[in-house]
Chains A and B, each alone.
Chain A
Amino acid sequence: DVKVTQSSRYLVKRTGEKVFLECVQDMDHENMFWYRQDPGLGLRLIYFSYDVKMKEKGDIPEGYSVSREKKERFSLILESASTNQTSMYLCASNSGATYEAFFGQGTRLTVV
């Protein structure tokens, strides 16, 4: 069974903390994604990685950075968390063969 696993389902952090969200996929996919989902706003792409150490900004990269040191792992970093980064974060991966995306269960991050 194919799987995308996010390290935490729920996370509460304080304003100003550095936050790491981890995502691991077991499908050998080239592409990995981080999205943010807020009520009424659908899925907005934060960052996209198409290979190890390669990344591309999405629509809302401000306040975020990413790391992809290994093909199966894609990390989202909030350098200094702020309350407006309270949201649901979804990780996904796909391959260039079918483009079918597989998603993790999501991390609901609350910044207080």
Chain B
Amino acid sequence: TQLLEQSPQFLSIQEGENLTVYCNSSSVFSSLQWYRQEPGEGPVLLVTVVTGGEVKKLKRLTFQFGDARKDSSLHITAAQPGDTGLYLCAPGADKLIFGTGTRLQVFP
């Protein structure tokens, strides 16, 4: 089973701060997905990155796929309490295996 390590495991910050979370593997992926899970809900897809070096922006969220397509990062600018949740990465594949997750708490 491919292993996706996410870091940090937990992150607790104040509103307005910037943060970056990471998703790393020793495997090469054809694409990588990022999901966010809010308390009491199932995960929801945020973005899929496909090309090595690709950068995608979703409002205050910036996603980057590593050049070698083994890793990815998610940067949040000026975090808000609504960003609170569990952030998960997963390779785009029929068999969906998620990374270990980063639990983010943003305090007002």
- A residues with CB within 8 A of B: 4, 30-31, 33, 35, 40, 42-43, 45, 48, 50, 56, 58-59, 90, 92, 94, 96, 98-106
Tell me whether A99 and B42 are in contact (CB under 8 A): no
Residue of A nearest to B86 (CB): A42
**Quick check: which of B12-20, B60-68, B76-84, B98-106 contacts chain A, the rest being far away?**
B98-106
What is the CA–CA distance of A30 and B96 in the complex, to the nearest angstrom? Answer: 13
What is the CA–CA distance of A86 and B108 in the complex, to the nearest angstrom? Answer: 33
Tell me whether B101 and A43 are in contact (CB under 8 A): yes
On whether A42 and B42 interact (CB within 8 A), knowing A99-B93, A99-B96, the answer reads: no
Please encode chain B, from 25 to 43, with 1 for each CB lying within 8 Å of some chain A CB and 0 for all others: 0000001010100001111
- B residues with CB within 8 A of A: 1, 9, 31, 33, 35, 40-45, 48, 86, 88, 90, 92-101
Indicate which residue in A42, A43, A59 contacts B1 across the interface (CB closer than 8 Å): A59
- Chain B contacts for A4, CB-based, 8 A: 42
- Chain B contacts for A42, CB-based, 8 A: 86, 88, 98-101
What is the CA–CA distance of A99 and B100 in the complex, to the nearest angstrom? Answer: 19
Nearest 7 pairs between A and B by C-beta?
A: A103-B42, A42-B101, A99-B92, A43-B98, A100-B45, A42-B100, A48-B95
On whether A98 and B48 interact (CB within 8 A), knowing A42-B88, A42-B99, A43-B88, the answer reads: yes
Tell me whether B41 and A56 are in contact (CB under 8 A): no
- Chain B contacts for A90, CB-based, 8 A: 42-43
Told that A42-B88, A92-B96 touch, could you supply 7 new A-B pairs with CB distance under 8 A? A42-B99, A42-B100, A43-B43, A50-B94, A101-B33, A101-B35, A103-B43
- Chain B contacts for A45, CB-based, 8 A: 95-98
On whether A33 and B96 interact (CB within 8 A), knowing A90-B42, A98-B48, A99-B31, the answer reads: yes
What is the CA–CA distance of A104 and B96 in the complex, to the nearest angstrom? Answer: 15
Tell me whether A106 and B95 are in contact (CB under 8 A): no
- Chain A contacts for B101, CB-based, 8 A: 42-43
